[in-house]
Structure 1
Amino acid sequence: MASLANRWAGRLYGTNTGNVFLDLSQDDQNISGRLRIMDSIFGVSIYEYTGTIDEEIVLNCTPSQTVEGVELGEVVVRGRLTQQGNIRGEWESTIGTAGTFEIHPHDINSSDPSAKDTNPEQIHNKTVQLGSIRLFKDDVVQLVDFLKKDFSNGRVIVTYSQRGSELTKYADDFLGQLDGIVQLNYIKLVIQEPEAHGINRVIVVELVANGNSEIRVSGINESWVLGKAESILQTLKPKQNSLVTTYRKYGLNLNGAIFIAMLIAIPDIEGWKSRAVFVISVFLLLNFLLFIHNKFIPNTAIYLEQVKPSFFKRAWPSMLSWFIAVSSSVIAAIIFSILKSGSS
């Protein structure tokens, strides 16, 4: 039986791609250890595993450390030892991802007896949530240039949605060949390059139409990770629409005022039927306000046909938010007046 106790490093391919590193301890046919994966997009994840060695090498991996906001499943790895001394095989997770891999032995002690038993350094991850974002062509160019700072070889990769499908291009090609793209409501920017120990440092900026837009930074240098995440946030902060962000997060204060006014006004309406009509009308108005707001004011809007936006282009989401809210207040007041006069 082959002795596989060693450090192994290599690559994985398939639905996920990236670097892989594992410590392997062996007791007869039983093996165990820790597996580290540096995903090209989602960053570092760590698994604990146990397994067996026979004609086939089998590892059963359970997540022990994850990247914020990334779902991981349990993974089964199956491989065979090649004539060259590598392990090659396939992997599959419980969340449906799968692929192939190849790893190579890295016995640093045999090549350098004085070398210390060291593991790759700790990986630091930082996730920052963003509010409602409005970007124009100049803003996208500025963001791409800012992401490239601190990267000597990495290139920014852009993924965006168009006509129901996702397209991925290098940022230079994306900006140089917009192909008549007028507006986007989803975009993801990714840049990475190797650091020490073969681990990549990664920046992901993902702006979505619905849900939470995020900045994700990963690397072995904690100060760089925290500083880069904060600097990207400060770059995008002026592009955030505070009113739309507040509404999506908490609801407009005017909505609360409408609700409180409803509670105060109910005693002035005689008859439980009229009161019920008033309460139902107010709740329908508030839900209609939320629906219209989400329908016509997306969380992310990127206007690529304009380099320098006009004041109205920047301000219209806030103006529309206030107009919808004020209109709802006026309608609620009219309903109250009708019901009150009808019950008197």
Structure 2
Amino acid sequence: MGTLRFNEEGVGIVLYSVTGKFDGRELSLTGEPQTQIEGYTFGRLTAIATVSARGTLEGEWETEVGSAGTVILFRHDRPEAGAALDGSKPDQLHTARHHFDAIEIDREQLIALAEEIQQDFTDRQVVVTVVARTEQSRFLPDFKALSFNEERAEIAKLYVQERGPRGLDRIVSVEFGPHVNVAMTQGADEAWVLGMLEKLKGYVRPYERSYATNFKRLGFGINQVLAVGTIVALPGIATLLDRAILAVAVIALMAAVVKLHNHYLPFAAIYLRAKPQGLASRIAPTLLSWLIAVTAGVAATLIAAYLQGSLGLPR
């Protein structure tokens, strides 16, 4: 509810008492004229505007007497508290990043994460992007109403940017995909940047999955174990040919481990519907990962033992 000052051609300023509602995507206004001028009639005003890709509100207005026009509303920035009045900006921009392990997340959990981010942003909406057969980007309210035919997405991104209290933009970006799962925060306030990143880490941590390709606490995975084991075993093999056979066999096993994990255990499992529930669904990926790793380790050990003659099998 408020007052609209309307510049009517040939008359001057006409006051309207307006009421309206905004659902995050569409703004609708209705207004009753308060100005009375003899010889002129001012009709009831209605206006509808929607959020554009640039963050402005754009639409049309009309009155009962037939006048009409275009509506364009945009933010008029004012100096924020603490901002320099001489136009100077802070000389330090802080950026923080965190890389996650393998991720398993569904649509509702992705929406909940986006809503958690939105709480820190009042003037801009979080943009949600998913890549399945095509790439689609929607503001968060529109994404909530969107339905997908695909069961899973290859990539999911969350992004929002708005002007911060010290004159520089604040940015939050989260991306889940086949090669990287990463969160990034940026702004002039170091405490906000680090605090927001910790908030994201705490929220995403329950969706991380531990695979044998990466022992997070130790900083290495099964392929590094295979490589070190090969180096240890090589001096015990007599001929150069047998050493070459072991090296090639282990390289092939390492490639097989990576290929099997990429096929059956993607780095980012993004469900556009509800993901499978139950204990079996939660532990199956980890068990499969360790089964692949143990199989590769046993195979490499048997090959090395055979080439060293420890198995007693004929050559």
* 1:275-286 correspondence to structure 2 within 5 Å: 275-286=243-254
- Structure 2's unaligned 5+ residue stretches are 1-53, 55-78
Whether the 8 Å CA contact 2:130–2:153 is kept in 1: the answer is yes
Whether the 8 Å CA contact 1:130–1:213 is kept in 2: the answer is yes
Whether the 8 Å CA contact 1:159–1:167 is kept in 2: the answer is yes
CA displacement at 1:168 relative to structure 2: 0.7
Distance 1:342 1:158, change over 3 A: same
CA displacement at 1:288 relative to structure 2: 2.1
Distance 1:308 1:192, change over 3 A: farther
TM-superposition CA deviations, 1:123-171 (whole Å, max 9, x none): 43322222221112332132012111122232211111121x3211122
Q: Are residues 1:220 and 2:188 paired? A: yes
Residue in structure 2 matching 1:130, options 68, 86, 100: 100
* Matched letter for residue 95 of structure 2: N
Residue in structure 2 matching 1:121, options 45, 68, 90: 90
Residue in structure 1 matching 2:110, options 140, 164, 180: 140
Moved more, 288-297 or 137-146: 288-297
TM value normalised by structure 2: 0.62
Q: Are residues 1:193 and 2:171 paired? A: no
Whether the 8 Å CA contact 1:138–1:307 is kept in 2: the answer is no
SS of the residue 2:96 aligns to: strand
TM-superposition CA deviations, 1:301-338 (whole Å, max 9, x none): 11232267322333333222211111112322443455
CA displacement at 1:201 relative to structure 2: 2.1
TM-superposition CA deviations, 1:181-220 (whole Å, max 9, x none): 311221111123333465432211112211x322222233
- Structure 1's unaligned 5+ residue stretches are 1-39, 41-107, 109-114
Root-mean-square deviation (CA, aligned residues, Å) is: 3.1
Distance 1:278 1:217, change over 3 A: closer
Identity of aligned residues (%): 26
Question: 1:291: which partner in 2?
Answer: 259
Question: 1:176: which partner in 2?
Answer: 145
Moved more, 333-342 or 322-331: 333-342
**Whole-Å separation in 1 of the counterparts to 2:257 and 2:275:** 32
* Matched letter for residue 182 of structure 1: E
* 1:152-167 correspondence to structure 2 within 5 Å: 152-163=122-133, 165-167=134-136
Question: 2:299: which partner in 1?
Answer: 331
Distance 1:268 1:246, change over 3 A: closer
**Whole-Å separation in 2 of the counterparts to 1:243 and 1:191:** 31
TM-superposition CA deviations, 1:199-244 (whole Å, max 9, x none): 432211112211x322222233322222111111111112112336
**Whole-Å separation in 1 of the counterparts to 2:171 and 2:232:** 54
Distance 1:207 1:260, change over 3 A: closer
Question: 2:69: which partner in 1?
Answer: none
Whether the 8 Å CA contact 2:148–2:272 is kept in 1: the answer is no
Whether the 8 Å CA contact 1:137–1:303 is kept in 2: the answer is yes
**Whole-Å separation in 2 of the counterparts to 1:287 and 1:281:** 10
Question: 1:53: which partner in 2?
Answer: none
Aligned length in residues: 229
TM value normalised by structure 1: 0.57
Question: 1:14: which partner in 2?
Answer: none
**Whole-Å separation in 1 of the counterparts to 2:227 and 2:95:** 41
Question: 1:317: which partner in 2?
Answer: 285
Larger fraction in strand? 1
